[in-house]
Amino acid sequence: MRRLGTALAALLLAGAGLAALAGSSASAGTAGGAGVTTKAVTVAAARTRGCTHSWSSRPKISTDTDYAPLMHIRTGSHACFDRMVFDIGDLPGNPVGYRVAYVDELHQDGSGAVVPVSGGAVLEVRVAAPSHDPENGEVTYEGRAGAPLPGVDLSGYRTFRDVRYGGSFEGETQIGVGVPARLPFRVFQMGNHVVLDVAHQPRRLH
C-alpha cells in the first residue's frame, strides 16, 4: 500500500472466533452485495453502563504488506461498540496494510472529489484490498462511489450513522464511516479479516 506509513504499536486481538467477528447483532453483505438486505438488532442500553476501554481516537496504521481482493464488508452492533469487518481473499502469508483516521471530509482517491458522509465526524478507512482480483481484474466487491455499502443496513446502530464507498484506487479500497463524534476506536486483523471497532461513548476507565 503506497501511502501507508510506519506501523503503530501492536493492536489488540479480539477473543471471539472468526465466525463471530461481526457479532450476534449483525448486518452482512455477500461478496457482491446483490439482493441482500440485513438489519441490526439493537443491544439493550443498560449493558453499556459497564463499558470500559483504553482505545483512542488517534490514527491506526499498519505497515505495507500483501494485497488481496476485498470480498465483502459486514457490520455488527455490540454492547459497547459498533463493528465493521472487511473480509479479504486468500493472503499469500502476510497481513494487508491499512490506515484508519478521522478526517474533516472524505476526498475520493484519484479525483479528489468530496464524498458526503452523514454524522458529526468521519472516519476514513483505507485497506490494501482492492475491490477486484489483482490477478485477473474480476470485480469482487461491487461498491459504487459515493453510495452506501451494498447489503449493509445501519438501522438501530448507536455509533455507525452512515457508511459510504469512496472507491478502489491503486490497490486500496476507501470507505467513509460517519459517527456522532470523534469517538475512540481500534483496528486489528485476524486471519483474512480486518476489523474496525468504534466505541459507543468516549473513553471511560474505572
Cα–Cα distances (Å) from 82 to 85, 120, 137, 156, in that order, read 10, 16, 32, 11
CB proximity list for 148: less than 8 A, separation 6 or greater: 162, 163, 164, 165
8 A C-beta contact, residue 182 and residue 36? no
Distance, CA of 158 to CA of 83 (rounded, Å): 11
pLDDT value, residue 52 = 83
Distance between CA atoms of residues 69 and 66, nearest Å:
10
pLDDT in tens, 49-77: 578 889 999 999 998 677 889 999 999 99
What one-letter code names the amino acid at 17? G
Query: For the whole model, what pTM was predicted?
Result: 0.77
- Give me the residues of the chain with pLDDT under 70, please: 1-49, 64, 204-206
Q: What pLDDT is recorded for position 37?
A: 32
- Give me the pLDDT at residue 109, please: 82
DSSP 163: E
Q: Can you list the domains of the chain with their CATH numbers?
A: 22-41+52-199 (2.60.40.3500)
